[in-house]
């Protein structure tokens, strides 16, 4: 994609300082999701909207599984959706969704706020309605791709320097973003850019190893600044001549080259415990000749989850991208992405929720397998929210 009250300026202190603790946390999220699948094999066929009994385990010690069990089906579906709006103040329909837990959060753009005071007022309004649990996202890569004009990084990714400089700039940017109520940054670009390719002006400079080191530095810097980073666009959009926002794209790179080059920065991001990974909307015939990456189970569940061992939150690129619209309507695309294994559907159109939410809810009511898939994603999203407290 191209362009509440602050509890703390950083992530949970232990998770921020201790990589082993972060790995244990993500293992817990993955284990909880697996437990959901196993536990629902008997009871998921009922079709009712209530998910199960409330947990007797109080507060923060409550397991992710119990947290999901407290949500009705509408709320579970809501946890896989990110909304947007056009206004400079939060409209009532967004307030309603947040109160009802029918959206996990929002993505904000420059059209929504300008000054620091406007940003704080906007994000506080969002968090009040969401009981301080909303994911508040921006796209802050650096240089010209910055939703928040007064926050860094000042330079675009190709010019951010050595890993130490990248980490410092990312930390400073994260601190500024967190101070105005933003807790998720849809950056860094982890693509290995080809000369003249769509990501050439936005990706880190260097070969696969250099981009991997820069990607890890950016993720670590944002974590130190209190913001969850997002590695994008999996499995690599650098070889595409066009941005999928604007047109359909096919990346014809051979599987062996993907393994040895394009996937290297993403493997590094996984090793760095990146909280989110964003899916590309391009077609990768070497991996799946039928579905674009964001709708491909072999790519999302087989490659990212299985082969790379990623247990964090997987988010789609903008659902309204032309590469998506060339293949289907947004509601069908959202359903396909959830089936493929995506945890969050990123909607950058203010009216998209009105089509997507009913479609996913109807599918969840009729399909036990889809309900299990939604519950698995909802557990991961709740885990991300806990990480950001």
Integer Cα distance of 173 and 373 in angstroms: 34
3-state DSSP helix/strand/coil percent for the chain, to nearest 5?
50, 10, 40
Which pLDDT belongs to residue 59? 45
DSSP letter for 301, please.
I
Which pLDDT belongs to residue 1? 61
* Number of H-type helices and E-type strands within the chain: 15, 12
Q: Map residue 72 onto helix, strand or coil.
A: strand
Q: Are 4 and 123 in contact (CB under 8 A)?
A: yes
- The encoded tokens of residue 336 equal 């396909």
Chain position carrying tokens 């947290």:
67
In order of 17, 46, 253, 370, the CA distances from 73 in angstroms are: 36, 12, 40, 11
User: If we measure between CA atoms, which residue out of 344, 276, 280, 266 comes closest to residue 317?
Assistant: 280
Integer Cα distance of 121 and 89 in angstroms: 9
Q: Are 86 and 383 in contact (CB under 8 A)?
A: no
Which pLDDT belongs to residue 366? 98
Which pLDDT belongs to residue 6? 34
Which pLDDT belongs to residue 19? 54
Integer Cα distance of 203 and 200 in angstroms: 6
Contacts of 92 (CB under 8 A, 6+ apart): none
Residue 349 has a CB neighbour count (10 Å cut-off) of 17
Residue 383: CA count within 13 A, CB half-sphere: 30
Which pLDDT belongs to residue 94? 98
Integer Cα distance of 134 and 157 in angstroms: 28
The interaxial angle of helices 353-366 and 368-387, nearest 10 deg, is: 120
Q: Please report the domains of the chain, with CATH numbers, ordered by start residue.
A: 13-387 (3.20.20.300)
User: If we measure between CA atoms, which residue out of 321, 308, 185 comes closest to residue 240?
Assistant: 321
pLDDT digit string, tens, across residues 351-388: 999 999 999 999 999 999 999 999 999 999 999 999 99
Which pLDDT belongs to residue 316? 98
What kind and span of H or E run contains 288? strand 288-292
| Longest CA–CA separation in the chain, Å | 57
Which pLDDT belongs to residue 389? 87
First-to-last alpha carbon distance for the chain, in angstroms, is 26
In order of 239, 252, 261, 264, 282, the CA distances from 288 in angstroms are: 16, 11, 18, 19, 11
Q: List the chain pLDDT tens, one digit each, 389 residues.
A: 654 333 333 454 444 445 555 554 555 445 444 444 334 333 333 333 333 323 333 444 368 888 998 999 999 999 999 999 999 999 999 999 999 999 999 999 999 999 999 999 999 999 999 999 999 999 999 999 999 999 999 999 999 999 999 999 999 999 999 999 999 999 999 999 999 999 999 999 999 999 999 999 999 999 999 999 999 999 999 999 999 999 999 999 999 999 999 999 999 999 999 999 999 999 999 999 999 999 999 999 999 999 999 999 999 999 999 999 999 999 999 999 999 999 999 999 999 999 999 999 999 999 999 999 999 999 999 999 999 98
Q: Map residue 289 onto helix, strand or coil.
A: strand
Is the sign of the CA dihedral 237, 239, 240, 241 positive or negative? positive
Q: Specify the pTM.
A: 0.86
Which pLDDT belongs to residue 43? 35
């Amino acid at each position: 994609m191209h362009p509440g009250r602050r509890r703390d300026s950083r992530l949970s202190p232990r998770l921020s300082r201790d990589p082993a603790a972060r790995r244990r946390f993500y293992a817990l999220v993955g284990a909880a999701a697996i437990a959901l699948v196993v536990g629902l094999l008997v009871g998921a066929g009922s079709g009712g909207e209530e998910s199960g009994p409330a947990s007797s385990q109080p507060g923060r010690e409550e397991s992710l599984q119990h947290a999901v069990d407290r949500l009705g089906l509408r709320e579970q579906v809501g946890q896989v959706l990110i909304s947007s709006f056009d206004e400079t103040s939060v409209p009532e329909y967004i307030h309603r969704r947040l109160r009802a837990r029918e959206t996990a959060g929002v993505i904000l753009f420059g059209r929504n706020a300008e000054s620091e005071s406007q940003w704080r007022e906007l994000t506080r309004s969002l968090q009040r309605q969401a009981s301080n649990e909303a994911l508040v996202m921006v796209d802050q890569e650096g240089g010209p791709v910055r939703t928040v004009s007064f926050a860094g990084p000042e330079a675009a990714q190709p010019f951010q320097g050595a890993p130490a400089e990248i980490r410092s700039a990312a930390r400073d940017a994260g601190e500024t973003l967190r101070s105005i109520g933003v807790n998720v940054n849809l950056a860094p670009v982890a693509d290995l850019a080809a000369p003249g390719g769509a990501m050439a002006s936005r990706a880190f400079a260097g070969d696969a190893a250099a981009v991997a080191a820069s990607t890890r530095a950016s993720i670590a810097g944002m974590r130190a600044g209190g913001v969850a980073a997002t590695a994008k666009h999996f499995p690599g959009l650098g070889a595409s001549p066009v941005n999928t926002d604007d047109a359909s794209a096919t990346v014809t790179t051979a599987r062996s080259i993907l393994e040895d080059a394009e996937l290297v920065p993403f493997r590094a991001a996984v090793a760095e415990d990146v909280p989110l990974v964003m899916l590309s909307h391009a077609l990768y015939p070497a991996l799946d000749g039928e579905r674009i990456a964001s709708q491909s189970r072999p790519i999302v569940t087989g490659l990212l989850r299985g082969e790379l061992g990623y247990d964090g939150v997987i988010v789609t690129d903008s659902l309204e991208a032309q590469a998506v619209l060339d293949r289907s309507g947004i509601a069908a695309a959202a359903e396909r992405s959830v089936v493929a294994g995506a945890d969050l559907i990123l909607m950058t159109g203010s009216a998209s929720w009105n089509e997507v939410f009913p479609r996913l809810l109807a599918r969840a009511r009729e399909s036990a397998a889809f309900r299990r898939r939604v519950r698995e994603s909802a557990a991961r999203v709740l885990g991300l929210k806990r990480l950001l407290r």
